Amino acid sequence: MKHEVIPPLTLLWYKGLGFSILAVIVLIFILKNRKKHEQDLFLRLMSVSFFTAWIYAIFYEINNGIWTIEDSLPLHLCRVSFIICIIASWRPKQWMFEWCLYLSIPAGLHAILTPELTMGRSNWLLFHYYLTHAAMLFVPLYLSFVKKMKARRNSWWKIVLYLQILVIINFPLNFLVDANYMYLHHKPLADNPFLIGEWPWYIIILEAVMILHVVIIRLIFKTTRK
């Protein structure tokens, strides 16, 4: 499947960025001071909406003949994180919140800033792309600022270790089916300043950058003592 990149600073890039960030900020601002049962109900409605969009996306790809084992399995970090966000929106669990906080936020933000559509481009695929990655920002920020959840003090390095499980799964799978999940097989097309060097060096740099992002988030957000 031909990947499509949305060039930075173009009109479409600004629209996608603006829609995503504005939606997250406005929703959190509106719901921050609402009653608890209203906050919980809204979060569950979001969970149902996200789940519906995910299922529809699968049927859309199959119906349009663009579903492939090389691109469509939920093995990219963003897709795994989106699924975790769906579950965490319905019934938040501590480890899910920590995954979303430390991994969904940087992954979603970078995806919005350097968009690469892996299934081609259409109105639905554009909408789903930005919905997915905006959700990855919304869920952990909502749980943090509205539901007052906090990460455990030492959870950051555990989440980094959990991520390596995905790496271990995807690395051999990519070579077996000629895929590029988590971009471990070759560099993505996205114009990301952290994509430095060729394979495998850019992977090592991305791992280091990922850890740096996690540490920065750990310093910004309050944690519990447990």
Is the separation of the CB atoms in 155 and 226 below 8 Å?
A: no
Domain boundaries, the chain: 4-224
> Are 4 and 125 a contacting pair, CB within 8 Å?
no
Provide DSSP, 93-144: -HHHHHHIIIIIHHHHHHHHHS-EEBTB--HHHHHHHHHHHHHHHHHHHHHH
Asked whether residue 226 carries a pLDDT value surpassing 80, the answer given is no
Q: What digits encode the pLDDT tens for the residues 194-208?
A: 888 889 899 999 999
Q: Tell me the pTM.
A: 0.94
With contact defined as beta carbons under 8 Å apart, do 151 and 102 qualify? yes
The whole-number average pLDDT for the span 118-125 is 89
What's the mean pLDDT in 179-203? 89
C-beta of residue 106 within 8 angstroms of C-beta of residue 140? no
Q: Is 223 helix (H, G, I), strand (E, B) or coil?
A: strand
Nearest partner of 138 among 2, 19, 5, judged by Cα? 19
Tens of pLDDT, residues 35-56: 999 999 999 999 999 999 999 9
Position 9, amino acid? L
pLDDT in the model for residue 1: 61
pLDDT for position 193: 84
